[in-house]
Structure formats: structure tokens, C-alpha cells
Amino acid sequence: MTLMKSWVTSANAADHPFPLNNLPYGVFSTDALDPRCGVAIGDMILDCSAAEEAGLITLTEAALFDVPFWNEVMEEGPELWAALRARLTEILVEGSADRAAAEPLLVPQADAQMHLPFLVSEYTDFYAGRHHATNVGTMFRGAENALPPNWLHVPIGYNGRASSVVVSGTEVRRPWGQLKSPDHDTPAFLPCRRFDLELEMGAIVGQPSDGPVTVDEADAMIFGYVLLNDWSARDIQAWEYQPLGPFQAKATATSISPWIVTAAALEPFRVDCPAREVELLDHLKDTGPMLYDIDLSVTLAPDGEAETEIARTNYREMYYSSAQQLAHHTTSGCPMNPGDLLGSGTISGAGKHQRGSLLELSWGGKEPITLENGQTRSFIEDGDTITLHGAARGQGYTIGFGTCAGKVTPALEDPYKR
């Protein structure tokens, strides 16, 4: 597929993240406008609420855009998703008869504040990147026991906190927790000392399930994707995770990018999952290309200073696709709901520069990385801003997500002071 040209001229640059080929969905506000649904096109946002009121978007008898979240659209299902995308394309394409009516409804992105684009029903995070799992397992169990016995057979995950999901730009406070030192017999309650990022993609479930679904059915249920940073308190995690896995170490925050890039926009970038070392059971087998060719990177900026790129990888490095994760999630009969968020797990590649967490990049703190300003990092320090970047690149166009950024602020002096 090649670039589709829009009358919004900024959308036609080959390196712009929001061409007509993309049309990602977000929620924005301005000084004059309350939070509402919008679609990014070039450096502008089409106000969907205003477009619906003006009669430019009339796909259902009931209003779709009278609420500041995209769950109402998700619940309508894939046929409406396709019809909406087609209608938005018709409005914004070069030479559109709707230009005169739509142009006054554009809002500069520079004037907008972004909000969570959907109501997060529930949140599940997976551990489905083989390089990440191998690196972490090697650090803690040795290379010969790096992967748990079940890892090549099933996507491992845990249920996280939907209440802690925040939009890009939200500051993240360093958490307190129980820390166990190798030099002491008992834990201490202290601020986290090994705060980390995890570079992930988030899949947004757009349709409900009631009983097990196939991989293909799961794939059709996914509304879109966001960048996702699964902030992780490694020292809290090390003490708490046995025997039931992560808990408070993962509950501080989960940051997501502000724009939902639809599965339809990513369709031209599908790629196969990696070759299987062992054959998956029938209900999880690959049925075609289920991953996407999306370039990903991480930058770290100390307070008030320039950023340094610390990692670069690609979403195609995942071992399990979001469709396989979703299909597995339903095997017990667990109902899925529109607005459920699935974290992919940390996305790392084979090379050191492709590692999607500081735990891996610094090899547990033993090999600190060096920033552009000469400072070193083993884990995140107060004042650091972590930013995730992602883009799929087509012939003369780019599909972007917007950045996923968060600045880490100091822990509370006394978390129980009232």
C-alpha cells in the first residue's frame, strides 16, 4: 500500500505519524472544549463529537460520540469499525466533497491535551517475549534453566490493575514497598531502589466473549494497539513474586500512548511469529501472520537534559501474538469485555541494544549504561523521563502511535503521613 493523500497537507509527509492511512483514535480537550473523541490527521485532530452533531458522521441511530471514550464504538463491532474508517477516509481524502464542512472542525494537536482514549475494563500483562524471558531467566536461574518448562507451550501472564493505567505524559511517583536485602534476614519498608521500564505493546479488546474463542476469532476481536510501558519495581518484585507472581511491583502505573492505532491500519504490516521450537497445542497454533512489523525504541532523558536512545527493537520479536494471548485468556471460560487491555510482555531482541528493560540493559545493575551527558544508569533515577516510540513504515508513509512518556518523581517522604 502507498500513501493515501489528504487535503490536510501535513498528513502527506512520508515521515509524519498520522497520514490518512492511519486515522488513530484518541480523546482530547482544549481550553474551550471538554474531553471528546477525536481522530488524528496530520498535525490536526478531527473533532468526532462536532462531526457527528454536524451530520458528517451518521452510522447509527444513537450517538456514538456523546461520551469521551471509544468504548461505545468498540461495542458496535467490526462492521461499524470498518464503516467508520471508510467514512473518515471519505471526509479527509484529497478532493473530498466534505472538506468545507469538516475543515472548521479541525483542532491543532499543539492546542490539545490528551486523555485516556478508552475506559480500561481489566488489564492483563503477559511475559511473551522470548529474548526478554531468556535474559531474565539467565540472570536469576542460569542459562540452562532460563525458560520455565511451560514457557514454550503457553503465554504466561498475570492480572494487573486497570485502575493504574495512565495516559502518556502522566508523572509516575516512585513507589514504596517491602525490600529484602541479601545482607539482612528481614525486609524493610523503603522507597523502590530498582525502578524500571518495560517496552511493550498493548492490545485493546473490542468485542466481548463468553467461552473459549479460537485464535482467528480472537484476532477479529482486537480493536487496536497502543504503546505500553509496564513500570516495574524490581526490588519489590524480587521479594514478593514467589509463589504467586508479580503484585505491588507492577501496580504503580502502566503508561499507554494516547492514540489507538486500529488493527485495520496495521494490516499491511503483518508478519509471521518466530519459528516454533516445540509445536503448540491446536488451540494456540499459528493460523497466519499474527505479529506486526513495528519499529520500537526507548529514550531516557535526565531532568532538564537531552534524551538518549537506550534501546531499539521491533514488535515482530514477540513469541506469542496478541491473538494467541487473547485466545489463551478465554480457555477457562473467562469472559472478555470491550476495553480489556492486554500487555504483550517486554519486547527485546537478540542484541544488547535491543533489550526492552533496564534490568536487561544493565544486566541486573552489573553493567550500567552510559548516557549522552556521561551519566550512567542501572535503573531509573528521580527526574528521568522515559519515552517509548513506535512506527510501522510503508511505501511513502508512516503509521505512528504518538509517544508514550512518563517522568519519574520522588517517592513520598512519609506515605502514611495524614
* 3-state secondary structure (DSSP) of residue 270: strand
> Residue 226 belongs to what H/E stretch?
strand 222-230
Binding-site residue ranges for substrate: 127, 141, 237, 241, 346
End-to-end CA distance of the chain: 59
Q: Alpha-carbon distance 306 to 339, whole Å?
A: 35
* 3-state secondary structure (DSSP) of residue 138: helix
Residue 223 gets the label, from left (phi > 0), alpha (psi -120 to 50) or beta, of alpha
Positive/negative CA dihedral, 81, 83, 89, 92: negative
Rounded to a whole number of angstroms, the CA Rg of the chain reads 22
* 132 included as an active-site residue: yes
Residue 273 to residues 182, 225, 258, 289, 329, Cα–Cα distance (Å)? 40, 17, 27, 7, 19
**Does residue 296 contact residue 198 with C-beta atoms inside 8 Å?**
no
Q: Are strands 195-196 and 199-205 parallel, antiparallel or unpaired?
A: unpaired
Binding-site residue ranges for Ca(2+): 125, 198, 200, 230
Phi and psi at 136, nearest 5°, equal -65, -45
For 157, residues 6+ apart whose C-beta sits below 8 A from its C-beta are 124, 125, 126, 127, 128, 325, 328, 329, 345
Binding-site residue ranges: 125, 127, 141, 198, 200, 230, 237, 241, 250, 254, 346
Residue type at 68 in one-letter notation: P
Per the residue annotation, which of 16, 132, 329, 389 is the catalytic one? 132
Residue type at 212 in one-letter notation: P
Q: Alpha-carbon distance 168 to 59, whole Å?
A: 30
- Which grid cell sits at 373? 551527558
Binding-site residue ranges for Mg(2+): 230, 250, 254
CA angle (29 as vertex; 116, 81 as ends), nearest 5: 55
Helices and strands in the chain: count of H runs, count of E runs? 10, 27
Q: Are strands 254-256 and 165-167 parallel, antiparallel or unpaired?
A: parallel
Q: Which residues are catalytic?
A: 132
